[in-house]
């Protein structure tokens, strides 16, 4: 069989497998693929599908996107964007609405800087303007209005609260 041009995927997989201290058989079992098939991938004789690459990446505990780039399925820029989006979506410290707003801001900055808006930024990853929190909820401790200074809860601030009053 002639070797396929798969961007050094086989060499990279072999290196990652050895770094993980796994035999070919162990990795094949963990990824749910046959030992001969994985061997052919490592030798550059087969070009695996994205699904197989995802299974192998999971077994190796590495980024599937990295394997997609090596296999020529994904280009480097797309991988960086996907990884950024994945990190945001996986962050347990922010809620779903915050994640979606952050992704929308990320996409707007990319667009502003001349990058195409990602095809991966589907409608479900965007939040319309009506979902934004009213900016007044983030007011400073005192909001000076035409009626005089007010505290965050909206009550009148007393003169002792503001020496300038």
Output the pLDDT for position 123. Answer: 39
Output the pLDDT for position 155. Answer: 53
More confident residue, 74 or 137: 74
Q: Round the average pLDDT of the chain to a whole number and report it.
A: 74
More confident residue, 136 or 10: 10
Helix, strand or coil for residue 42? Answer: helix
Output the pLDDT for position 62. Answer: 86
Nearest to 131 by CA among 98, 86, 85, 92: 98
* pLDDT (tens digit per residue) in 37-93: 999 999 999 999 999 999 999 999 888 888 888 888 877 777 677 778 888 888 889
The rounded distance, in Å, linking the Cα atoms of 128 and 138 is 19
Strands (E), the chain: 142-145, 148-151
Q: Among residues of the chain, what percentage have pLDDT more than 70?
A: 65
Output the pLDDT for position 13. Answer: 94
The rounded distance, in Å, linking the Cα atoms of 129 and 23 is 52
Instruction: Tell me the pLDDT band of 145, cut-offs 50, 70 and 90.
Output: very low
């Amino acid at each position: 069989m002639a070797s396929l041009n798969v961007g050094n995927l086989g060499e990279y997989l072999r290196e990652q497998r050895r770094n993980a201290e796994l035999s070919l058989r162990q990795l094949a079992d963990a990824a749910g693929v046959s030992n001969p098939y994985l061997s052919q991938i490592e030798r550059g004789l087969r070009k695996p599908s994205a699904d197989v690459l995802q299974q192998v990446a999971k077994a190796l505990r590495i980024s599937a996107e990295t394997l997609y780039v090596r296999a020529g399925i994904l280009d480097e820029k797309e991988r960086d964007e996907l990884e950024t989006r994945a990190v945001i979506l996986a962050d347990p410290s922010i809620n779903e609405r915050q994640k979606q707003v952050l992704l929308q801001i990320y996409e707007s900055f990319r667009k502003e800087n001349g990058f195409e808006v990602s095809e991966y930024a589907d409608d479900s990853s965007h939040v319309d303007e009506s979902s934004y929190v009213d900016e007044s909820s983030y007011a400073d401790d005192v909001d000076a209005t035409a009626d005089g200074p007010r505290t965050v809860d909206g009550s009148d601030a007393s003169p002792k609260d503001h020496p300038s009053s």
